[in-house]
Amino acid sequence: MTGWHASDHLVARYADGCLPEADAWSLEKHLESCGGCALRVSRAVRATAAGPVLDGIREKILADVRGAVPARVPEAAPAGGAAVPPAHGPVPGAPDPARPAGSPVRTRPRVYRWPSAGPGAVRLLWALGPAVRGAWLPAVLLVAVGAVALAHGGGIANARPWLLALAPVVPVAGVALSYGPHADPMHEITAATPSAGLRLVLTRTAAVLAVSLPLLTLAGALLPSADAPNAAAWLLPGLALTLASLALAGYVGLRTATAVTGGGWLCAVLGPVLTAPGGLTDELGERLSRYLDGAPAQGGWAAAAVLCAALLAARRPAFHFLEKS
């Protein structure tokens, strides 16, 4: 412990929610061992508009906890009058034969424990929740399995270009559906904590990529193709579009950013194909080869991903206020 304590200005910025994420984490770590600063922060937060809301949540949780405590009912004595020992320990308030008369009664509170998962596992599951539940995950499975089934069952000789055209948009859509009030029932509470910043967004983005990248790449490898890029050619474009969405989200919000990047990709790839006079699949294969095949194209996507990652790091403070309303 040092002699440092939170200043009034720091406490006020924390209560207003305008303290940067790193400073907020540092202050919360200090509050774990400093009761005086914790009391000042608590008073400052209660004085804001969030104070009555937090009080209501606290009272609701305490009421639910009190209602969940089971009542201890003494067992009935037999007709002869002899007391029957309780099956689960002594009844509260009943005399204990082993205790000397007149000695104080000591009670031990019942302890309720969480499941045996560690704190790190609980935090990780909480952070990943919206990214791996809901309709997005079944939709990805349906796209991958359905594409393979239709290609082989329907005898489509060149099905891979269509999957490659849609694959870069799938993780972008998953990111849009994994963060915000529409995805998380506790988003308002999450958004009021320092963990609502870039760290949580990147955690859920990593979960989306961990599911969609291998699944769609495997599906692409199983699809027949007469003349199209290889099944892994979409990985760098998909990563670059996802990072571009996150970087743009710092300016316009996550859903708007994903709509711009995902819609831009679909317009660039499918727009000219739909107006082409020749066969749609052949035209799509040629256009995808131009966008995805070869070292220049892949190098361009890699450079775009690095640039978007740098912009994302520069815009990190903006994510503390992302999707708060």
Q: What angle do CA 61, 88, 85 make, to 5 degrees?
A: 140
User: How far is CA 136 from each of CA 74, 176, 178, 272, 301, rounded to the nearest angstrom?
Assistant: 51, 10, 9, 28, 26
Place of tokens 């000397």: 100
The overall longest dimension of the chain from CA atoms, in Å, is: 101
Closest by Cα among 92, 260, 271, 112 to 176:
260
pLDDT in tens, the chain (325 residues): 457 888 888 888 888 888 887 778 788 878 878 888 888 888 888 888 777 877 788 788 888 777 765 555 454 544 554 444 444 444 444 455 555 555 444 444 444 343 444 445 445 544 555 555 556 677 788 878 888 887 777 667 677 888 888 899 988 988 888 777 766 666 666 666 656 677 778 888 888 888 888 988 998 888 877 666 888 888 999 999 999 999 998 888 888 999 999 999 999 888 888 776 766 777 888 888 888 888 899 999 999 999 999 999 888 887 776 665 4
Closest by Cα among 168, 152, 147, 132 to 219:
147
Q: Based on C-alpha coordinates, what's the Rg of the chain? A: 29
Exposure b/e, 42-59, CB count within 10 A at least 16 = b: eebbeeeebeeeeeeeee
CA dist., res. 168 & res. 267, Å (int): 13
Place of tokens 């400052």: 44
Place of tokens 């256009």: 287
Q: Residues with Cβ < 8 Å from 208, sequence gap 6 or more?
A: 131, 136, 171, 174, 175, 178, 242
Q: Judge whether 6 and 26 are in contact, CB under 8 Å.
A: no
CA dist., res. 283 & res. 158, Å (int): 12
Task: Give the chain's end-to-end CA distance (angstroms, integer).
Answer: 38
Q: Judge whether 171 and 137 are in contact, CB under 8 Å.
A: no
Extract the tokens encoding 295: 């070292």
Q: Judge whether 31 and 45 are in contact, CB under 8 Å.
A: no
